[in-house]
Amino acid sequence: MAAACLRLVWLAPLLLGLVDGGRAEPPRDALREELVITPLPSGDVAATFQFRTRWDSDLQREEGLSVLLKADRLFHTSYHSQAVHIRPVCRNARCTSISWELRQTLSVVYDAFVTGQGKKDWSLFRMFSRTLTEPCPLASESRVYVDVTSYNQDNETLEVHPTPTTTYQDVTLGTQKTYAVYDLLDTAVINNSRNLNLQFKWKSPPENEAPPVPFLHAQRYVSGYGLQNGELNTLLYNTHPYRAFPVLVLDTVPWYLRLYVHTLTITSKGKENKPSYVHYQPAQDRLQPHLLEMLIQLPANSATKVSIQFERALLKWTEYTPDPNHGFYVSPSVLSALVPSMVAAKPVDWEESPLFKSLYPVSDSSSYFVRLYTEPLLVNLPTPDFSMPYNVICLTCTVVAVCYGSFYNLLTRTFHIEEPSTGGLAKWLANLIRRARGVPPL
């Protein structure tokens, strides 16, 4: 696949200089590419491309999954994220030599509503305006995985075209998932009309079903009004039907929101929830932000509200940003949790399992690790009007103060004629001289 290949070229000068063993032995595993398509609860569709390779010779092809990467479609998405991972891997069991693995990931979320004209249906052509034509000839593995979990449960609602030949069962994020697998190297998949356009249709529109929610999700907002006080609220939802689990909440709040730690309240189901661990590092003005870390037990099937009040500080006038009326951002809370699984996960064999397994965090048999970031907040601080009239007002006030002072003096002060001082050496001297000159003395 050309994109991946060229990236190798780009990184080659950087890496090859560092690696000793990499050049000596031939690579064992040249290129694996993979596309995972997952319909999301919100109705959007997530597509994740992964390309993994070991160092190899010059590869320049524009085939395989990379034909789908068309820029103007990729940027009309709701979300995208990309990553490059480079790591050493052992070449043999004893790890006497290593080779380097490059893994590139591109995740995009398509707004299925807009591309599907109001329906949840999707197809490769609708999303990417391309279809798959052939596998990358250099790839040792080139597969498309489609999440068809609901398809298997209920054959009536969903239709996947072409019908998958093989499926793959896996446990991701604690739930059992079924993926339809399309192996592009399998000639039967593409051979029919030299293109593969995956389609996903809902037979009956799933209107009223509540979208499934993840076990742990969160929401954050600022409450209150006015420019003096406010409250930071974080809502933590545990939708697990019967298991409680702890969550580590990490908040960093800028110093110009002065937190009142005594107002920290955590309530779950109307009762106070005492955190088992609280670490608070107070802010220092202009030096360090507040750091608040708590370990909170979330009861099963509950919403927990963490709230803390703050006061908005007055900044020095040079500390305002050029767009102070936009507000100041407060970074998201970070939630880390071991969420109990519904289904026990098997230990993973990284070489054998699909590449997307690495996207999900390692989980043991009973729980899996999740790190969530809540939304960032925009908080307005009391902001002076940095416009010309403001300056004029300041100036006018100064002038008025000055004028008032003089007027007051004029109106209230009385002036006396000071008696001429009688003595003084200078006067005496001057009079001496005057007398000498014959001029009347002072």
Partner 1 sequence: MGLLSDPVRRRALARLVLRLNAPLCALSYAAGVAWFLALAFPPLTQRTYMSENAMGSTMVEEQFAGGERARGWARDFAAHRRKAGALPAAWLERAMRSVGLEVYTQSFSRKLPFPDEAHERYMVSGTNVYGILRAPRAASTESLVLTVPCGSDATNSQAVGLLLALAAHFRGQIYWAKDIIFLVTEQDLLGTEAWLEAYHDVNVTGMQSSPLQGRAGAIQAAVALELSTDVVTSLDVAVEGLNGQLPNLDLLNLFQTFCQKGGLLCTLQGKLQPQDWTSVDGPLQGLQTLLLMVLQQASGRPHGPHGLFLRYRVEALTIRGINSFRQYKYDLVAVGKALEGVFRKLNHLLERLHQSFFFYLLPALSRFVSIGLYMPAVGFLLLVLGLKALELWMQLHEAGVGPEEAGGGPESSPPLQPAQSVGLASLVAPLLISQAMGLALYILPVLGQHVATQHFPVAEAEAVVLTLLAIYAAGLALPHSTQRVVSARAPDRGWMALKLVAIIYLALQLACIALTNFSLGFLLAVTMVPAAALTKPYGPRPLYATLLVLTSPAATLLGSLFLWRELQEAPLSLAEGWQLFLVAGGPGSPAFRTAPPYGHRARPGNTAHESPRAAPQTPRARNLRGPRHPRHRKMPAGPALLPVSTPPGSAARRSPAPSPALATPALGAAAGADGSRGAPETAKMAVAAASLRGAVLGPRGAGLPGAGARGLLCGARLGQLPLRTSQAVPLSSKAGPSRGRKVMLSALGMLAAGGAGLAVALHSAVSASDLELHPPSYPWSHRGLLSSLDHTSIRRGFQVYKQVCSSCHSMDYVAYRHLVGVCYTEDEAKALAEEVRGLGGGGPRDWGAHCAGRQGRDGALRGRWRFRTAPMRMERCSCGQGSSPTISPNHTPTLRPPEQPITEHCPLTSATSLELGTVVRTTSSPC
Residues 38-77 interacting with partner 1 (rule: CB under 8 A): 42-43, 60, 62, 66, 69-72, 74-77
CA–CA distance, 129 with 131 (Å, rounded to integer)? 7
CB 238 within 8 A of CB 283: no
Residues 6+ away with beta carbon under 8 Å from 155: none
Which residues between 162 and 191 bind partner 1 (CB under 8 A)?
Answer: none
Which residues between 293 and 352 bind partner 1 (CB under 8 A)?
Answer: 323-327, 329
Residue closer to partner 1 (CB basis): 193 or 387: 387
Give me the half-sphere count of Cα atoms (radius 13 Å) on the Cβ side of residue 261.
13
Listed as own residue / partner, the contacts of 358-365 with beta carbons closer than 8 Å and 24 or more positions apart are 358/103, 359/48, 359/50, 359/105, 359/107, 360/172, 360/173, 363/171, 363/173, 363/174, 365/341
326 in helix, strand or coil?
Answer: helix
Beta bridge partner(s), residue 210: none
Contact pick of 156, 209, 272, 418 for partner 1 (by CB under 8 A): 418
Pairing of strands 229-238, 302-312: antiparallel
CB atoms within 10 A of CB 19: 14
* Shortest distance (Å) from residue 217 CB to partner 1: 11
* Shortest distance (Å) from residue 391 CB to partner 1: 8
CB-count exposure of residue 139 (10 Å: 0-12, 13-18, 19+): buried
* Shortest distance (Å) from residue 323 CB to partner 1: 5
Residue closer to partner 1 (CB basis): 172 or 234: 234
CB 266 within 8 A of CB 246: no
- The identity of residue 218, as a single letter, is A
Beta bridge partner(s), residue 196: 132
Binding map of partner 1 across residues 105-134, x = CB under 8 A, - = no contact? -x----x-xx---x----------------
Residue closer to partner 1 (CB basis): 43 or 246: 43
Residue closer to partner 1 (CB basis): 11 or 250: 11
* Shortest distance (Å) from residue 37 CB to partner 1: 18
Which residues between 357 and 386 bind partner 1 (CB under 8 A)?
Answer: 375-380, 382-383, 385
CB atoms within 10 A of CB 415: 5
* Shortest distance (Å) from residue 290 CB to partner 1: 20
The token duo for 101 is: 């693995």
- Give the angle subtended at the CA of 338 by the CAs of 335 and 344, to the nearest 5°: 145
Q: Does 414 bind partner 1 (CB under 8 A)?
A: yes
* Shortest distance (Å) from residue 135 CB to partner 1: 16
* Shortest distance (Å) from residue 359 CB to partner 1: 17
Residue closer to partner 1 (CB basis): 26 or 384: 384
Distance between alpha carbon 226 and the CA centroid of its chain, in Å? 28
CB atoms within 10 A of CB 399: 10
b/e per residue, 328-346, with b = 16+ CB within 10 A? bebebbebebbbbbeeebe
Residue closer to partner 1 (CB basis): 163 or 387: 387
Which residues between 5 and 44 bind partner 1 (CB under 8 A)?
Answer: 6-7, 9-10, 42-43
* Shortest distance (Å) from residue 191 CB to partner 1: 25
| 8-state DSSP, 120 | S
* Shortest distance (Å) from residue 338 CB to partner 1: 26
* Shortest distance (Å) from residue 297 CB to partner 1: 22
Residue closer to partner 1 (CB basis): 28 or 85: 85
Residue closer to partner 1 (CB basis): 74 or 148: 74
| 8-state DSSP, 325 | G
- What is the torsion angle, in degrees rounded to the nearest 10, for the CA atoms of residue 266, residue 272, residue 275 and residue 278? 60
Q: Name which of 245, 264, 236 is nearest 333 in CA terms.
A: 236
Binding map of partner 1 across residues 216-255, x = CB under 8 A, - = no contact? ---x-xxxxxxxx--x-x----------------------
Which residues between 87 and 106 bind partner 1 (CB under 8 A)?
Answer: 104, 106
* Shortest distance (Å) from residue 171 CB to partner 1: 29
Which residues between 259 and 298 bind partner 1 (CB under 8 A)?
Answer: none
Number of residues counted as binding partner 1 (CB under 8 A): 77
Contact pick of 12, 24, 26, 82 for partner 1 (by CB under 8 A): 82
124 phi/psi in degrees, rounded to 5: -60, -40
Of 157-165, 167-175, 271-279, 409-417, the window that binds partner 1 (rule: CB under 8 A) is 409-417
